[in-house]
Structure 1
Amino acid sequence: MARYTGPKSKIARKFREPIFGPDKALERKNYPPGQHGVSKRRGKQSEYAIQLLEKQKAKYTYGVLERQFANLFARASAKQGITGEVFLKLLEARLDNTVYRLGIAPTRSAARQLVGHKHITVNGEVVNIPSYSLRPGDVIAVRERSKSLEAISNAVAGHKINKFSWLEWDASGLTGKFLNYPERTEIPENIKENLIVELYSK
């Protein structure tokens, strides 16, 4: 499946946020990329441009393609509650994102790779679909034969105590549990979901 494989620092600088994790290039050049750098004059952005930028930020952050993004938004719109918040909750419930949150992988792209290569199980069954939507109570684990993988061992070793209240983690068994959908205030990503809702409602 197509994924963004271009320069990540350029995207991080575009949004002025470490979207793909700590980035030294962003620290050195905390201004948008371009030939004229920080001195380039930029006119006032239109409302549409601001909304589109926020949508792109969410897509890059969670590693979701356009069609997946639109389908997920449609699902969120059909559910009860505030559409923007429901949408973020569905993004958080993706399997690849949860593998990343649990600390089994250092980045979301690494988590997608682990899932795609059949190293992850859900409720005891191997699942190789990164966009798989978890439900409260689902148990996520590293496949038995994959527990000795250096990439997983290094990620888990560097993982701090679980800081997400909607997830439960057992380091000894390399298993986690998706307890419930997180509240908006618990999701750390700096995304203005109301702008995405406004964009789709045009």
Structure 2
Amino acid sequence: MSKRASSKHKIDRRLGENLWGRPKSPVNKREYGPGQHGQRRKGKVSDYGTQLRAKQKLKGYYGNVSEKQFRKIYAEATRRKGDSSESLIGLLESRLDAVVYRAKFVPTVFASRQFISHGHIKVNGRRVTIASYSVKVGDLIEVKDSSKQLAIVLEATQLAERDVPDYIEVDHNKMTAKFARVPGLADVPYPVHMEPNLVVEFYSR
């Protein structure tokens, strides 16, 4: 598991956006960046800067995926037929940590990664402890029986700030989720505007 260099609130403030749509995000009160120079006037951003920011937003949203992992995902997206930016989103949303987060088994994508690594999740009846595990269409993801009554799970299922998208079929009574289909950009309920096309441009420079 990659070591997170900064907290989720710092990521929000650095990017100046409430990346996960959380009510406790500091950006809700202060839209400028952290540090003593956070409020200084920003100059015109170059094309490279715009592309870099798009990459930072997408990487940050999925729990600050390591550069090595993110580049690997991009390489796989460009190998596939069709729109590379759509493939990039599909691959990111197919990660086990993203599916567990989308299913509302945990409150954050960071918690999802930890939840999986601690052995609380099974895929098709088998325990999986790798957060980056690639979920296939039709796979059944479930919370282990002994973990279904954990406070973090019960609280997450009641969260009103986000809904389960239609490409994941969830039964919160059984604590199971089925990955129904690979989504495209328009299907994913991002709280902020994502630009995967700029990420593709960034890496193809």
Normalised by the shorter chain, which TM-score bucket?
over 0.9
- For structure 1, the residue ranges without an aligned partner over 5 or more in a row are none
Hey, what does 1:187 align to over in structure 2?
A: 188
Structure 2 SS opposite 1:194: helix
The separation in 2 between residues aligned to 1:171 and 1:9, in whole angstroms, is: 28
> In 2 relative to 1, CA 183–36 (structure 1 residues): closer, same or farther, beyond 3 Å?
closer
Hey, what does 1:139 align to over in structure 2?
A: 140
Hey, what does 2:41 align to over in structure 1?
A: 41
The answer to whether the 8 A contact 1:116-1:128 is kept is yes
Hey, what does 1:56 align to over in structure 2?
A: 56
Q: Deviations over 1:11-40 (max 9, x none)?
A: 2122221124333421111122342332x1
The separation in 1 between residues aligned to 2:141 and 2:69, in whole angstroms, is: 22
Hey, what does 1:170 align to over in structure 2?
A: 171
TM-score scaled to structure 1, two decimals?
A: 0.92
The separation in 2 between residues aligned to 1:160 and 1:195, in whole angstroms, is: 28
Identical residues among aligned pairs (%): 40
The answer to whether the 8 A contact 2:12-2:25 is kept is no
The answer to whether the 8 A contact 1:169-1:175 is kept is yes
Q: Deviations over 1:147-186 (max 9, x none)?
A: 1222212222336895411010111111010000012211
Mapping of residues 1-202 of structure 1, within 5 Å: 1-20=1-20, 21-38=22-39, 40-63=40-63, 64-158=65-159, 162-189=163-190, 190-202=193-205
Structure 2 SS opposite 1:137: coil
- For structure 2, the residue ranges without an aligned partner over 5 or more in a row are none
Paired letter, 1:19: L
The separation in 2 between residues aligned to 1:172 and 1:109, in whole angstroms, is: 23
Structure 2 SS opposite 1:132: coil
Q: Which has the higher contact order (CA 8 A, sep 6+)?
A: 2
The answer to whether the 8 A contact 1:162-1:168 is kept is no
Deviation at 1:109, TM superposition (A): 0.4
Deviation at 1:145, TM superposition (A): 1.7
Q: How many residues align structurally?
A: 201
